[in-house]
Amino acid sequence: MPETHIEWWRDAVFYEIYIRSFADSDGDGVGDLGGIRERLPYLRELGVDGIWLTPFYRSPGADHGYDVSDYVDVDPQFGTLDDFDALVATARELGLRVIVDIVPNHSSSEHAWFRNALADPSHPDRRRYVFRPGRDSGPPNNWPSNWGGPAWTRDERSGEWYLHLFAPEQPDLDWHTEEVRDDFEGILRFWLDRGVDGFRIDVAHALYKDATLRDEQEPFPEAPFSSDWRAAVDQPEVHAVYRDWRRLVGGYEDERVLVGEVVFSDPARTAPYVRPDELHMAFNFTLLFQGWEADGIRAAIDRSRAALAEVGAPPTWVLENHDVTRLPTRYGGGAEGLRRARAAALLLLALQGPVFLYQGQELGLEEVDLPDEVRQDPIFRRMKGVRKGRDGCRVPIPWDDGPPGFGFTSGTPWLPIPDSWDAKTVERQRAAEHSPLALYRSALELRGRLTGDLAWRESPEGTLVFDRGGVVCAVNVDAPPLPLPDGEVLLASDEHPPGELPPGTAAWILVA
C-alpha cells in the first residue's frame, strides 16, 4: 500500500501514461498494460507519486481510446482485466498511486447503447443520447464540433440528428437522463473496487449541454478552447454530479480522488468545480498556454492561486499532456527550447500543489514532425490537414536499443520513432549526469524540501524569484545574468557561473 497521509494528493506528482506509446509487451507496436507494469520500477526511480492512465477500455479507437465501447472491460489491444489487476498490484508494491481516465461526456458509436439507439428509435437507450429533428434541411442548431464541421450527424434511418462535440464516432451522452447518471456511478464503483486511487474525468465541464439547444453566437470567437465561449457547456447541473461522485469516492477507504479536465483559460471559471464537496482537483492549463515570458508566467501563477484559494483547493500545474505540442518545441525548439524547458521544469516542480507530468517530458522530447501519411489523430483527417493534430507528441518512448523499436516494442512502433532519438533514450539519459532525466530525478527527490506558501521576491524584469520555505526558486527567463541569493545551490537546470544565472536557467537555492 502507498503510504497514506491526509490529503496525499495536495502535493503529489502524477505521471501521465499515454497507453499506446509507453511500452509494448507483445510486439504489436502498440503500448499495453503489461508493458507499463514492466516499466513501473522506472517511475519509482524517477520519483513520481502516481500514474494517470489514459483510456484502456474497449474501444474501436476512433480517438485512440477516448471513444469507449465498454467502460468496464480492457481493450484486447491493451490486455485483460487480469493484466489491469496485476498492474495495480505492482504499483501498490512500489508505492505508486493509480488514477484512471473516465470518459463520461460521450461514448463510442460502437457502444451497445448507441447501437440500440440507432437500430430502433423507440429503444429506451435512445434517451441516453441527444437526438433531435433537424431545422430546415440542416442540423438542429449551429453548434460546431471541436474538430471541424457541425456537432451533429444525421441518423439516416430516422432522419433525426445526434450531437457530438468531438468526432461523429463519439456521440455525446445526455446527462439529463437518469440512467446515464446511474450507470456512471456503477462504472466508478467497478474501478474503485478494483483498487484505483481515483479518476481523471475527460471533458468534465461539458456533460450537460444547454437543454434548449439554443444557437451559439456567431462568428465563433478564436480562443484556446471552445469552452471559453460556448454558452452550451458549463451548465449548473453538472455540479450535482460531482457532489454525488465526491460522496461516492468518500465512501471508500484511503482517499480516492477526482481530477477534472475542466477546460477554461480563466481559472476563475474552474474554481466552482473544486469546491470542497466537488472535485479534488481540476487541471489548470494557464502555464501550458503561456510562452516563455516572465510577466505572463507570473500572472498565470498568481491568477491560478488567487482563483482557487477562494474555494480552498490547490491549483494544479501542467506543462505538457497528450493533446499539446511538446514543451521544448513550444519554447522555440533546438538547444534553446530544451534549455528553457529544463528551466521550466524547476519552476514547475517548485510550485505548490499537484503537478502532472506527461511521459517523455522528463526526457526533454521534442514534438516530432511526422509525415502526413503516418498521422492517425482524427483531428488531422477531420480538419483536412489544416490542424496537424496531436500525433507529434504521442510518438512512443525511446527506452533503449536503436531504431526502429527503441526497446518500446520488438515490432514496428505505431508511430515511427525518429532515429535522432538514439541520443535521448532512457538508457543513455540514465548514464548521463546532466540529462533532462537526471534533472527531473533530482528535482523530484528534492521537491519535498520546498514547503509552505509561495512568496515572491522582488527581482529584475525578465526574471522570477520566489521563496518556498527555506528554498528559493530563481528563474532567469530572458534577462541579463541574474545574481543569486546567498545560499547553497541545491540544483540548477544548467551549468552557470558561480553566483549568477544566465538567461534560460533556473536554480533552487537553500537559503535558510
Residue 63 or 234: the one with the smaller Cβ distance to ligand GLC is 63
Pairs from 267-274 (Cβ < 8 Å, separation ≥ 24):
267/303, 267/304, 267/307, 267/308, 267/315, 268/303, 268/307, 269/234, 270/307, 270/308, 271/307, 271/308, 271/310, 271/311, 271/313, 272/239, 272/311, 273/204, 273/205, 273/239, 273/242, 274/308, 274/311, 274/313
Element (H or E) spanning 340, and its range?
Answer: helix 334-350
Separation of CA 330 from chain center? 17
Residue 392 CB neighbour total at 10 angstroms = 19
Separation of CA 134 from chain center? 35
Q: Which residues pair with 70 in a beta bridge?
A: 58
How far apart are CB 173 and ligand GLC at their closest, in Å?
12
Give residue for cell 486511487.
197
Tell me if residue 195 falls in helix, strand or coil. coil
Residue 75 or 202: the one with the smaller Cβ distance to ligand GLC is 202
Report the catalytic residues: 202, 261
Q: Are 322 and 397 in contact (CB under 8 A)?
A: no
What is each CA distance from 322 to 44, 47, 297, 396, 467, in whole angstroms?
A: 21, 21, 22, 12, 31
Cα atoms in the 13 Å half-sphere on the side-chain side of 208: 16
Within 309-458, strands assigned E span 317-318, 355-358, 454-456
Cα dihedral angle (500, 505, 510, 512), rounded to 10 degrees? 70
How far apart are CB 67 and ligand GLC at their closest, in Å?
7
How far apart are CB 318 and ligand GLC at their closest, in Å?
11
Give me the residue whose beta carbon is nearest to ligand GLC: 66
How far apart are CB 288 and ligand GLC at their closest, in Å?
12
How far apart are CB 15 and ligand GLC at their closest, in Å?
16
What is each CA distance from 351 to 104, 225, 322, 453, 454, in whole angstroms?
A: 30, 25, 22, 9, 7
Residue 263 or 439: the one with the smaller Cβ distance to ligand GLC is 263
Residue whose C-alpha is closest to residue 343's, from 128, 502, 234? 502
Residue 75 or 323: the one with the smaller Cβ distance to ligand GLC is 323
How far apart are CB 65 and ligand GLC at their closest, in Å?
9
Phi, then psi, of 146 in degrees rounded to 5: -65, -20
Residue 37 or 322: the one with the smaller Cβ distance to ligand GLC is 322
Q: Are 160 and 153 in contact (CB under 8 A)?
A: no
Binding site for ligand GLC (CB under 6 A): 63, 66, 103, 166, 202-203, 261, 322-323
How far apart are CB 124 and ligand GLC at their closest, in Å?
25
Residue whose C-alpha is closest to residue 68's, from 16, 105, 29? 105
Residue 49 or 63: the one with the smaller Cβ distance to ligand GLC is 63
Residue 202 or 467: the one with the smaller Cβ distance to ligand GLC is 202
Q: Are 62 and 167 in contact (CB under 8 A)?
A: yes
Residue 170 or 493: the one with the smaller Cβ distance to ligand GLC is 170
How far apart are CB 105 and ligand GLC at their closest, in Å?
7
Residue 181 CB neighbour total at 10 angstroms = 17
